[in-house]
């Protein structure tokens, strides 16, 4: 931890001098475009037959079985979808809940969400997908975000096409470079209660990564107990989750008493020996009330400032770990037992430095490099993402608590009416 903190501090000081938040704009010339199309053609592998599609689904089944230690993982259906540059992806679904997506260009299982609803309409004729960015459906000749239902502008389509190309090319480079080749380590200590094919109550089943932060269940069980993300405020949603995590488990006082009573609702449930039953509820209004109605898209420095402003004059001792993707790995904070906001960045406007970021909260990783994260969407609290092809621009923000632990009473037993601290201590009065 000391080493990474030293590196973080060193890097932050360099960053302050040299690196801007946004990269230099790149003007697309005809030469660029011709080159890009040629590169695209090289990488386009299409699913031509039903057998190929079913074989792809079996690759997803195999990865699902490996990651979840569920030998019986078997998809019930599969479907070919595309990105905005003609690359195929195969989606396998596992009943009412759960799906996995294969990047056909390099046979990498790019996304596994074993307990999440499908993020698009399975019956839709034309579904598009850009890893880490989103899902889209075509209706009446126009594309819409499958979740927000917002129409995608012509400029937006160009950006999505560019990111589609960048992602596939990078994923192939990453795979050839064998960035992540460590084998999955089978651990006998991991629970074996996962059976995604048969469980009737899969929302209560947890995914286990090889490495996780303490109290990672807080993120896993946080299906919808966090501020919603209707307006691209995912950076603030992630900051809210990180602040609540520190308040509940690390050292109370991250929220003032007034803020806690207003925005954190203690969870009242049956306490079980293997952990709590549910998570204290963080109010939807929290990010807007704390940081203003005008909040929207963010870059790492915006979120660092937001965290600092929220914590100012509270007397908490903490470091903000801030890294840019080129120089870091998202797994560093997780190794230190600290959950982190992971920012991916893609162009927003071809002619400016404006970029949009997608931000997720990472709380675990696998030995093969896959990340276990909370997507900031309802039901997407346990999503496993491949790092192959992941954003080359972006960053990592984490809060390293350095204050001593102070108890709180965010958990109460419905039966005994007794209160508990997030650390597990019974609060006597
Ligand atoms: Zn405590």
pLDDT at 260: 95
How far apart CA 258 and CA 314 sit, in angstroms, is 12
> Residue 428: enclosing H or E segment and its boundaries?
none
Q: In 10 A of CB 347, how many CB atoms?
A: 23
Q: For residue 245, report the distance from its CA to the centre of ligand 1, in Å.
A: 13
Question: What's the gap in Å between 418 CA and the centre of ligand 1?
Answer: 14
Q: How far is the CA of 215 from the centre of ligand 1 (A)?
A: 13
pLDDT of residue 262: 94
Task: Name the E strands within 327-380.
Answer: 340-347, 355-365, 371-374
Distance CA 244, CA 237 (A): 11
> How many Cβ atoms are within 10 Å of 85's Cβ, its own excluded?
22
Question: In this structure, what DSSP letter does residue 374 have?
Answer: E
**Measured in angstroms, how far is the CA atom of residue 201 from the centroid of ligand 1?**
31
Cα of 5 vs centre of ligand 1, distance in Å, is 25
Distance 7 CA to ligand 1 centre (A): 30
CA distance 45 to 58: 17
Q: How far is the CA of 422 from the centre of ligand 1 (A)?
A: 6
For the sheet containing 426-427, what is the strand order? 267-269, 411-413, 419-420, 426-427
Q: Both tokens of residue 306?
A: 């937001």
In this structure, what token pair is assigned to residue 326?
A: 């080129």
Q: Which residues have C-beta within 8 Å of that of residue 169, sequence separation ≥ 6?
A: 39, 43
Distance 402 CA to ligand 1 centre (A): 15
Interval between CA 411 and ligand 1 midpoint (Å): 11
* Domain residue extents for the chain: 2-22+210-427, 44-176
Q: Which CATH class is domain 2-22+210-427?
A: alpha beta
User: String of b and e for 234-270 (b: at least 16 CB within 10 Å)?
Assistant: bbbbbbbbbbbbbbbbbbbbbbeeebbeebbebbeee
Residue 207, Ramachandran bin (φ over 0: left; ψ between -120 and 50: alpha; else beta): beta
Question: What is the Cα–Cα distance from 342 to 336, expressed in whole angstroms?
Answer: 15
Q: Write down the pLDDT at residue 170.
A: 87
CA-CA distance, 408 to 423, in Å (whole number)? 9
Q: What's the pLDDT score for residue 189?
A: 38
Using the CB atoms, write b or e for 54-75: b if 16+ within 10 Å: eebbebbbebbbbbbbbeebeb
Contact by Cβ (8 Å): 193, 205:
yes
Rounded CA gap, 246 and 238, in Å?
A: 13
pLDDT in tens, the chain (429 residues): 444 444 443 333 333 333 333 334 445 555 555 555 555 555 578 898 999 999 999 999 999 888 777 777 889 999 999 999 999 999 999 887 799 999 999 899 999 998 899 999 999 999 999 998 899 999 999 999 998 898 999 888 988 998 899 899 988 888 877 655 443 333 333 433 344 444 444 555 788 898 999 999 899 888 888 887 666 788 999 999 999 999 999 999 999 999 999 999 888 777 765 466 778 889 989 999 999 988 888 888 889 999 999 999 999 999 998 876 655 678 889 999 999 999 886 665 555 455 566 789 999 998 888 999 998 888 899 999 988 887 666 789 999 999 999 999 898 887 788 888 888 888 876
Among residues 163, 109, 105, the alpha carbon closest in space to that of 350 is found at 163
């Amino acid at each position: 931890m000391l080493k990474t903190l030293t590196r973080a501090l060193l890097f932050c000081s360099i960053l302050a001098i040299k690196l801007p938040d946004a990269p230099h704009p790149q003007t697309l010339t005809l030469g660029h475009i011709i080159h890009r199309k040629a590169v695209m053609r090289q990488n386009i592998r299409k699913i031509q037959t039903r057998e190929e599609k079913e074989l792809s689904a079996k690759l997803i089944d195999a990865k699902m079985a490996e990651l979840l230690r569920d030998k019986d993982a078997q998809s019930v259906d599969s479907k070919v979808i595309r990105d905005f540059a003609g690359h195929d992806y195969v989606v396998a679904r596992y009943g009412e809940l759960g799906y996995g997506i294969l990047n056909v260009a390099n046979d990498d299982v790019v996304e596994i969400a074993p307990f999440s609803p499908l993020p698009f309409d399975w019956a839709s004729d034309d579904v598009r997908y850009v890893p880490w960015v989103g899902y889209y459906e075509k209706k009446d000749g126009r594309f819409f975000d499958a979740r927000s239902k917002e129409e995608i502008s012509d400029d937006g389509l160009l950006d999505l096409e560019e990111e589609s190309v960048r992602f596939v090319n990078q994923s192939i480079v990453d795979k050839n470079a064998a960035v992540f080749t460590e084998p999955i380590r089978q651990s006998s200590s991991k629970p074996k209660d996962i059976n995604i094919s048969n469980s009737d109550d899969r929302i209560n089943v947890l995914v286990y990564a090889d490495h996780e932060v303490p109290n990672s269940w807080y993120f896993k069980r946080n299906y919808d107990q966090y501020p919603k993300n209707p307006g691209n405020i995912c950076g603030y949603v992630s900051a809210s989750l990180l602040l609540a995590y520190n308040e509940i488990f690390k050292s109370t006082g991250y929220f003032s008493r007034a803020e806690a009573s207003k925005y954190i609702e203690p969870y009242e449930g049956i306490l079980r020996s293997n952990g709590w039953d549910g998570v204290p509820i963080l109010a939807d209004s929290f990010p807007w009330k704390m940081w203003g109605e005008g909040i929207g898209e963010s870059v790492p420095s915006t979120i660092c400032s937001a965290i600092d402003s929220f914590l100012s004059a509270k007397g908490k001792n903490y470091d903000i770990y801030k890294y840019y993707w080129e120089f870091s790995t998202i797994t560093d904070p997780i190794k230190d037992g600290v959950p982190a906001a992971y920012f991916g960045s893609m162009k927003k406007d071809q002619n400016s430095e404006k970029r949009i970021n997608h931000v997720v909260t990472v709380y675990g990783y696998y030995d093969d490099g896959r990340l276990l994260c909370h997507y900031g969407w309802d039901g997407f609290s346990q999503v496993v993402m491949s790092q192959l092809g992941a954003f080359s621009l972006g960053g990592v923000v984490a809060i390293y608590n350095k204050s001593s632990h102070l108890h709180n009473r965010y958990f109460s037993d419905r039966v005994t009416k007794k209160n508990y601290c997030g650390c597990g201590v019974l609060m006597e009065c």
